[in-house]
A and B are shown apart, each in its own frame.
Chain A
Amino acid sequence: MTVSFKVNGVRQTLDVEMEMPLLWALRNEMGLTGTKFGCGVAACGACTVHIDGVATRSCVTPLSAVENREVVTIEGLAAEQGAKDALAPIQAAWVAHQVPQCGYCQSGMLMAVSALLKEKPKPTDAEIDEAITNVCRCGTYPRIRAAIHSLSNA
């Protein structure tokens, strides 16, 4: 069986099992290691990507569900956001607020937050709490919140 979909603007056709989660196709078949494995059960958000612009946990998304759809990973975030520079404003805000510590969860955080900001450019704290349920073991949450607010006030 082959499955065909776009990843970061490039059409990909894979001859793999349709039930393979998108995460493992990205990481093991396409060499896109920016999307991280954290839990395998959609409980931590480290694997978050955009599918047709919607934040989606790729560890439980089978390839059958992405046929002909547009997937954007952290590697394609700046382009998706139409950034003229190497970093999209959200990534620049992460740098300005020195958000990452170990950094492992941050790909997923950035994908989740960028999707939230698309929907709600000025989210309240309660909206952030509800939408951003990703786990960060280093506890970068206060800085993530500050970075989000800096973007919504920009």
Chain B
Amino acid sequence: MSIKNPTRRQLIVAGGLAGGGLLLGYAFSGPSRHTLAERAVAGKGEQVLATWLKISPDNTVTIYVPHADMGQGVVTSLAMMAAEEMEADWSLVRAEVAPAEKAFANESFGLRYTEGVHIPPMFQGLTDAALLKVAQLMNVQITGGSSSVRWTGEHGMRPAGASAKDMLVRAAAARWNVAPGECVAKLSHVTHPSGKSATYAELANDAAELSPPSHPVLKSKADFTIIGKPIPRFDIPSKVNGTALYGIDARRPGQLYAAIKFVPVFGGDVVSYDEKQVLSRRGVRKVVRLPGVGVAVVADNYWRAKEAANALDIKIDAKGNDAVSMKTIYAQHDADLAKDKGSKDVEIGDADAALGQAAKRIETTYRVPYLAHACMEPMNCTVWIHGEQAEVWVGSQSPLTVRGRVADIAGLDFGNVKVHPYLLGGGFGRRVPVVKGFLDFPSEIDFATLIAKEVDAPVQLLYTREDDIQHDAYRIAVTSTFKAALDANGNPVAWANRYTSKDEPGEAAHIPYAVPNQSIRYVESPTAVPRGPWRSVAHSQHTFFTESFMDELAHEAGKDPFEYRRKLLKNEPRHLAVLELAAAKAGWGTPLEKGHARGIAIQQAFKTIVAEVVEVSVSPSGDLKVHRVTAAVDCGSTVNPDTAAQQVESGIIFGLTAALHGEITIEGGAVAQSNFTDYEMVRMADVPAIEVHFIDSGAELGGLGEPATPPVAAAVANAVFAATGKRIRELPLKNHDLTPLTAKMAQAAD
């Protein structure tokens, strides 16, 4: 086999498999929106994806997906994209999370990739610069930023499938001595009008000898037979009978379990402890000090390890951080915001001047607290260090980063660390491991490795739920101040916003509305509380702020909040269509039961525009119920409409939990909440009716895992205002007395 047409921007590699079959991979460097992913992989501006498909002698096609499936159905969606272009018979398509296939670990196979191929920069710092490693590492793509379908799928899976089809057709044409253009690929066969027909499997070996096309031709949407269909997910059957394996389910012979007694205060350390307190307990094998973190206890059963860790008295030094509380953090935000003008985010026109001349000026401040991810599967990582080798069993949004991190901490060569990717029991940004200089806080990956260095067996570190809530990498608390000016007709002529701590993505605080003078600026306000990406990242805070404040302006102007937005979106046709669809489907403006009200909000995130109309009721005593959420979504088009709708439902409920209940507070330098008992989740009884409507705009594909989360909080708060007259400027809603102002006035009059 040889490598054909390698270029810097695009790399297609193909080859025959021992035992027959065709293996084809496609790597590229693509758009660089998501700096999180960029930083993780070290190469500036580079996104390298490798997607692979294999044709086996029984004519099945196996598609290896380089992304973690943490519930979003991406393994199925990506396989659909490859199968579509390949003209595969879907009943013969299988999918696996790479690299479950032994062929990829086969050295002689992998070595064939090393001839004359440029190694993309992302791999250079992470590998020993042999493409063997690339072959072994193709499961490395970070899963985040709602990127799987729009990057890997659009730029990897579809071209890979199209390339395979092209090669199979040319192989058939050569065999039959006819022109490739006369042959048709369909349902995993190539046929010729003369009646000749061959299965993909029969052509695979010949195809493997051909050059992949440099510019594979993609199908047009009108010809799709797989994309756009609600195809059942591959992973569901294993998730209803207990056979699906998550990181926590990793089991190796002789495996031990570890629990940590954490130092509760961020930035504190362990001063002393007496390991004799627990070493004599049944099953306890080892006590390991983790500097700056706590003390780990290793035992032969997790419950024994946890009970022993609980029993261990540790003396800690808070290093002065025990004075940190929400009061000090918010005071710091306020001081930092008052200090100077901050850094530029958006400057259009002259907001200061417009504010000075305004007919009406509105000023206000919004805040949101820290949030934990609370993935259903508590954090865990299983590591076995034996000799110069390490093996890791973990569910991660970036197995490659895990590999590098374990190698660093264990002091091993990168090539001597093997990561076995397991399913993730929720991710939401929490299972993106440490990246130097960005998410630079220690995590369970680090701790598990440190513990494994001290133990001569595979060891599984598992957090309790309390550990998970109290030692997360939190969605940061943000304070955001606004000033706006309205002209005599109530139209906004100035929008001035200053907020603490810029985060990803950079445009989260931007507004789509036609406001002629805008000044959006930020100040950094760092704290010792570990920060991390949380589903939709900065959109989760800023959409609440900007869409609530826009609602305030509408009410100040005496206008209907939908009509007010509509007018300001006249230059944004996609936004306008989404807003109007949500309003129409929700029956905006039609009468509601007494005590009920609607709120609306819209946001573009990860290239997808979502508008949500929420219907709530607030009882005279202030009890809030969310009855209905109507969502309109323009993500370009959908690959699998059923999983797409699932992701929107999921994002709405995730955002609703945050809006209603979500609050992590810092008291005494530590997290005050500990479990689902005081970090409440939306449950069955709280779930509103949810309707999802997609607009097939044909625009560039947007993400779906995250964009439905941002608008919920603002839409609920705007509905609460409509129902009660109370403007909620700080989340969560549970902290507010929502007794309607009119009812209160009525009570006072009694």
Contacts and interface: CB of A to CB of B under 8 A. Distances in A.
A5 interface: no
A110 B240 contact: yes
Given A130-B685, A141-B684, A37 B241 contact: no
B239 interface: yes
A132 to B, nearest CB: 5
Contacts of A39: 465, 675-676
A33 B376 contact: no
Contacts of B646: 98, 101, 140, 143
B687 interface: yes
B240 A100 contact: yes
Interface in B216-241: 232-233, 235-241
Interface in B54-107: 70-73
Given A43-B677, A44-B376, A106 B240 contact: yes
Interface string B676-687: 110001111101
B425 A104 contact: yes
Interface stretch (B246-254, B596-604, B735-743): B246-254
14 contacts: A24-B303, A44-B676, A44-B681, A75-B241, A77-B241, A101-B73, A102-B425, A103-B239, A129-B684, A133-B683, A133-B684, A133-B685, A137-B681, A138-B653
A137 B303 contact: no
Contacts of B374: 137
Interface residues of A, number: 60
A87 interface: yes
B495 to A, nearest CB: 33
Contacts of A78: 241
A39 B426 CA distance: 14
A149 to B, nearest CB: 13
Contact of A91 (B241, B245, B653): B241
Contacts of B241: 34, 74-75, 77-78, 86-87, 91
Nearest to B652: A139
A36 B377 contact: yes
A106 B462 CA distance: 20
Do most interface residues of chain A lie in helix, strand or loop, or is the interface mixed? loop
Interface in B557-574: none
B682 A139 contact: yes
B242 A75 contact: yes
Contact of B242 (A34, A98, A101, A128): A34
B376 A104 contact: yes
Contacts of A74: 241-242
Contacts of A75: 241-243
A55 interface: no
B176 to A, nearest CB: 42
A43 B675 contact: yes
B442 to A, nearest CB: 23
Contacts of A40: 464-466, 675
A61 to B, nearest CB: 12
Contacts of B245: 33
B676 to A, nearest CB: 4
B642 interface: yes
Interface string B683-715: 111010110000000000000000000000000
A36 B424 CA distance: 13
B687 A141 contact: yes
Given A91-B241, A102-B376, A106-B239, A129 B248 contact: no
A46 B676 CA distance: 12
Interface in B493-530: none
Contact of A41 (B232, B465, B681, B690): B465
Interface in B630-655: 642-643, 646, 649-654
Do most interface residues of chain B lie in helix, strand or loop, or is the interface mixed? loop
Nearest to B377: A104
A1 to B, nearest CB: 11
A41 B242 contact: no
B239 A100 contact: yes
Interface in A105-154: 105-107, 110, 128-130, 132-145
B282 interface: yes
A63 B709 CA distance: 41
Given A27-B302, A40-B675, A102-B71, 4 more contacts: A36-B246, A43-B676, A137-B374, A139-B654
A43 B257 CA distance: 23
Contacts, number: 179
A132 B682 CA distance: 12
Interface of B: 70-73, 232-233, 235-246, 248-249, 251, 257, 282, 301-303, 374-378, 423-428, 462, 464-466, 642-643, 646, 649-654, 675-677, 681-685, 687, 689-690
Interface string A11-46: 000001100110010011101111111111101101
Contacts of B651: 139
B464 A135 contact: no
Contacts of B654: 137-139
Given A137-B375, A139-B652, A28 B302 contact: yes
B257 A36 contact: no
A77 B240 CA distance: 10
Contact of B303 (A28, A73, A95, A105): A28
Enumerate the 9 nearest inter-chain pairs by beta-carbon distance, A residue then B residue, closest first: A34-B242, A139-B653, A104-B425, A103-B239, A102-B71, A101-B71, A74-B242, A129-B685, A24-B303
Nearest to B653: A139
A145 B426 contact: no
Contacts of B652: 139
Contacts of A41: 465, 675-677
A40 B301 CA distance: 15
Contacts of B681: 44, 135, 137
A31 B251 contact: yes
Given A136-B376, A138-B650, A103 B684 contact: no
A38 B649 contact: no
A95 to B, nearest CB: 5
A20 B303 contact: yes
B405 to A, nearest CB: 23
B684 A145 contact: yes
B242 A95 contact: no
B236 A141 contact: no
A103 B423 contact: yes
Contacts of B246: 36, 104
Interface string A79-106: 0000000110001001100111111111
A135 B232 contact: no
Contacts of B690: 142
B423 A102 contact: yes
Given A135-B676, A137-B426, A24 B301 contact: yes
A102 B424 contact: yes
Nearest to B73: A101
Highest count of chain B CB atoms <10 Å: which of A21, A39, A99, A134? A39
